[in-house]
Amino acid sequence: MKLGAFSVSLNVKNIQASKQFYETLGFTVFAGNVEQHYLIMQNEATLIGLFQGMFDKNILTFNPGWDSNAQQLTNYDDIREIQAHLKKNGISLTSEADKNASGPASCMLLDPDGNPILIDQHI
């Protein structure tokens, strides 16, 4: 199963302080907007999202159809295929993509320790 680009979406208390901290570690702003309380930061192929006040826990995020530079892949597994595979294998989803639609969609699940995993397809 191809899950696409991986990032960790962090629930931060102060986006400016977090931005400065991660810049010190060598990350640069890749996307997002401080005024909208989110930034995507990159260091080589590593991506982290900084989100202030948008969710309660840190989230593991996968983006089917994207590489680590948010460039569209020619060969990827669609979110609906991934979702069907998860359900077939007994994984409960906390939110689901419309299996009859196409294009952008997402689903969410929890790992055995309650860590949220977002599978978020943008294409």
Mind listing the domains of the chain with CATH numbers?
5-121 (3.10.180.10)
Q: What is the pLDDT along the chain (123 residues), one digit of tens a residue?
A: 999 999 999 999 999 999 999 999 999 999 999 999 999 999 999 999 999 999 999 999 999 999 999 999 999 999 999 999 999 999 999 999 999 999 999 999 999 999 999 999 999
Q: How far apart are CA 33 and CA 114, in angstroms?
A: 29
Q: Is 91 exposed, middle or buried (0-12, 13-18, 19+ CB in 10 A)?
A: middle
The dihedrals phi and psi of 57, each to the nearest 5 degrees, come to: -125, 160
Phi, psi (5° rounding) for residue 110?
A: -120, 140
Q: Supply the pTM of this predicted model.
A: 0.91
Measured in Å, how far apart are the chain's first and last C-alpha atoms? 17
